[in-house]
Amino acid sequence: MSAILPGPPAPAGSEPEYQGKNAFIDREYSWLEFNQRVLEEAQDPANPLMERIQFLSIVANNLDEFIEVRVAGLLQKVESVLPVDGIAGLDAAVKLDTILRLIQKSVKQQYKCWNEDLLPKLRENNVHIKTMASLGKDEEKYVHTYFRKEIYPLLTPIRVDPAHPFPWVSNKALCLAALLKEDKRRDGLGVVTIPRSLARLISVPNREKGYSFIFIQDLVQHFITDLFKGYAIKSCAPFRATRNSNLYQEDEEGSSLIDAVEAVVHNRRRGDVVRLEIDKNASKRIVDALTRTFDVDAKQVFRVDGPVNLNRLASLYNMVPLSQLKFPPIHPSNTAHFQDSEDLFHEIRQRDIMLHHPFDSYDPVVRFIQSAAEDPKVQVIKQTLYRTNEESPIMYALLEAAEQGKEVVAVVELKARFDEKSNISWARQLEEKGGTVVYGLVGLKTHCKLSLAIRKEDSGFAQYAHVGTGNYNPETARRYTDISFLTSDPEITEGVSEVFNFLTSQSRSPDFKTLMVGPVNFLGETLRRIRAETESALAGKRSGITAKMNSLLDKEVIEALYEASRAGVPVRLIVRGICALRPGAKQLSENIQVKSVVGRFLEHSRIFYFENDGNPSVFVGSGDWMDRNLRERVEVAIPIKDANFIRQIEDILTVYWADNAKSRLMRADGSYVRSAPPAGEAPVNAQEWLAKRAEVPDLPLPPAPRLFPVRAPLPEPEPIETLQT
């Protein structure tokens, strides 16, 4: 996908001038570029086959959320006659038309990848996606029995007529529409919704070695006459309607936030339809009937050449246990003393511990919270929860601690989009056990990742904290790259304690010590440090900014980075997704480079590194340089003070910058070009290198341009004295 320039095209042979609003890349265009990079991973034959299918399902899932939130919001702006949208100040109606056209193009590429590349490769590996026509006699007999016993009883066919209006179709529910011949002059419409409880991909036993599956939509479509008995079926087509899920209303202090969010979750299904996906062979009469019913126009209709909703392909991964078609497993390192010591707090008291997941195990984080729940000396546990899994060992530990009578305070973010139901459930359970549940601050999402244990020791009360860049979810910790920091450093723990007080009491004069906390001082401290690098460069001192984040969108931060670039500060940004900054633009950002890494693991860690004339200021935290993170969320970034940890972070940033296997360099027009190794050199895959270093700690860094000055070697840290079990 080529970038869409928000400004007029430059004359042939000249560089475009990026000034004013044209100095910024539009958010939605930048997101589409990101999703295209994920699609490239699905198209890349160098990736194992099942991983490519996973990438394709991720592309489809990403697109679902983009449409039901971002496109839905843009439609609302157009309907409200709001002419301008986004940081680049684009015409909203023109932008909407362009985005829908680009999505149509991307969807065609996705189905081409599935039909022409992945499906044949599956067959080569004896994995077969069957149609009813391709089933053998035994297979056909099996699916017939399966349909009658497992599917048919759960289906409700509805014939649309004045007595039976068109049924409510839930957001992204898989449905079938059938054109029914009623008599010589009239046709009717029938609709069947396939319950979400039914598997979308059904395993079909066969006598040959290998694996066979059939999509449920093909099965129901084949037996549609059993559902509408007595009618001749003129045509039938599967479809799916995507609705507006951006339904949060302004917070009202007089209402219960948890009740309000429960209502939003319930009503999310009732948003306006934003997109209609339907089989490409659907008859015009069915398409016309659905577009009238859902009040969408032609540009919102997506005819698909294959299964409606490619996201469902993700289930194949676990249904096909062929390890040769998947990435080899990684073996995360685990700090040895965590395994053997009976007192985890003793370990943290001696030395801070930094972990880089998934290359370092997430088990120590889980154990930290479990130890706090089990240790009789721990009297108070405070915890933020943004996204967690349904069978969370962390939540069970908190429930156990509350049941034992410990003071458990959980700050639960109810408006973590698409995880509200799970968060509400955990919040209710914790309250029933006697825990204190707080739902954050009105108008602000609680996005920081904090855990605090307060322990009664011989010397008095001591505080221990975990601060992370990722969610408290052991499942995603295996797939996301994140930083965890375990500490008893009073400056950090007192700052974390103050954040919890800020969240529970809305204190107006908080003292966060050395922490950067949004929306209080995160933006101001970030700008101060960027400007300090600008002043260093102007004074001829050593300067440099290297940062890694998910997205970069905040206008003030971008303008400060432009100013730093013009002063001569080398700025290197590793931005996985949205980036509104234009790198390498003449007289604007010639000293700024932007790289995106999209690989096996979702890049999720946020690291901010300021050279500070040879005395680096380094922070890790939960927030990106986006306006919502800096202004509308409670975020926390902590300073990394230990020289050994700073060296580790320098290594992490260096290897990501050296990546020329899974990285793309951003150009000033917003497009990306894939990195490639120099002629004759092996490619550098940052994630693979980090996984290998987990097994070989002294693995040398790959050849790379130097990002950081040569510093004097550090003495080896003293071994931690362990308490053996």
27-36, 77-86, 206-215, 473-482: the lowest-pLDDT one: 77-86
- pLDDT for residue 417: 55
- pLDDT for residue 659: 96
- Secondary structure letter of residue 401 according to DSSP: H
720 token code pair = 């931690």
Active-site residue (options: 222, 356, 357, 447): 447
Q: Which regions of 511-611 does DSSP assign to beta strands (E)?
A: 516-518, 545-549, 571-575, 592-597, 602-603, 606-610
Phi first, then psi, for residue 305 (nearest 5°) are -100, 70
Looking at 3.40.50.300, 3.40.50.720, 3.30.870.10, 3.40.50.11890, the CATH number of the domain 517-695 comes to 3.30.870.10
CA distance 605 to 467: 12
Choice between 484 and 181, residue whose per-residue pLDDT is larger: 484
CA distance 437 to 455: 21
Average pLDDT, the chain: 89
What residues contact residue 240 under an 8 Å CB cut-off, 6+ apart? 172, 173, 174, 175, 276, 277, 278, 308, 309
64 neighbors 311 (Cβ within 8 angstroms): yes
Quick one: CA torsion of 196, 201, 204, 208, rounded to 10 degrees?
Answer: -160
Q: Hey, CA dihedral for 415, 420, 424, 427, is it positive or negative?
A: negative
What residues contact residue 224 under an 8 Å CB cut-off, 6+ apart? 176, 178, 190, 192, 233, 236
- pLDDT for residue 258: 55
Assess whether 447 carries a catalytic annotation: yes
Q: Do domains 338-513 and 517-695 have the same CATH topology?
A: yes
Q: Average of pLDDT values for 635-662? A: 96
> Residue 358, preceding bond cis, omega within 30 degrees?
yes
Phi first, then psi, for residue 160 (nearest 5°) are -80, 120
CATH topology of domain 1-8+22-125: Methane Monooxygenase Hydroxylase; Chain G, domain 1 (1.20.58)
- pLDDT for residue 181: 86
Q: What is the CATH number of domain 338-513?
A: 3.30.870.10
- pLDDT for residue 14: 58
- pLDDT for residue 174: 97
pLDDT above 60 (res 159): yes
Residues in the chain: 725
Q: Average of pLDDT values for 65-81? A: 89
Q: What is the 3-state secondary structure (H, E, C) of 107-122?
A: HHHHHHHHHHHHHHHH
33 neighbors 667 (Cβ within 8 angstroms): no
pLDDT above 50 (res 298): yes
The residue among 13, 592, 560, 21 whose CA lies nearest residue 5 is 21
Give CA separation, 691 vs 27, 35, 365, in Å: 32, 25, 19
355 token code pair = 């972990």
Span 218-271, pLDDT tens digits: 999 999 999 999 889 999 999 999 999 875 444 443 345 555 555 544 454 458
Phi first, then psi, for residue 314 (nearest 5°) are -60, -30
DSSP-derived pairing of the beta strands 449-457 and 460-468: antiparallel
Q: Average of pLDDT values for 369-381? A: 95
What does 309-362 look like in DSSP terms, one character per residue?
Answer: -GGGGGGHHHH---GGGSPPPP--B--HHHHHBS-HHHHHHH--EEEEETTB-S
The residue among 208, 488, 454 whose CA lies nearest residue 347 is 488
48-52, 95-99, 430-434, 568-572: the lowest-pLDDT one: 430-434
Q: Average of pLDDT values for 675-686? A: 91
CA distance 362 to 369: 12
CATH topology of domain 133-317: polyphosphate kinase like (3.30.1840)
42 neighbors 25 (Cβ within 8 angstroms): no
DSSP-derived pairing of the beta strands 174-181 and 201-203: unpaired
Choice between 324 and 265, residue whose per-residue pLDDT is larger: 324
This prediction has a pTM of 0.91
The residue among 179, 174, 177, 173 whose CA lies nearest residue 217 is 174
Domain ranges in the chain?
Answer: 1-8+22-125, 133-317, 338-513, 517-695
Instruction: Compute how many other C-beta atoms are within 10 angstroms of the C-beta atom of residue 245.
Output: 23
- pLDDT for residue 620: 98
- Backbone Cα Rg of the chain: 27
303 neighbors 282 (Cβ within 8 angstroms): yes
581 neighbors 573 (Cβ within 8 angstroms): yes
The residue among 268, 605, 622 whose CA lies nearest residue 415 is 268
638 neighbors 354 (Cβ within 8 angstroms): no
In the block, tokens 């010589």 appear at 184
Span 395-422, pLDDT tens digits: 899 999 999 999 999 888 766 555 566 6
Residue 689, Cβ density class (10 Å: 0-12 exposed, 13-18 middle, ≥19 buried): buried
Share of the chain above pLDDT 70, in %: 90
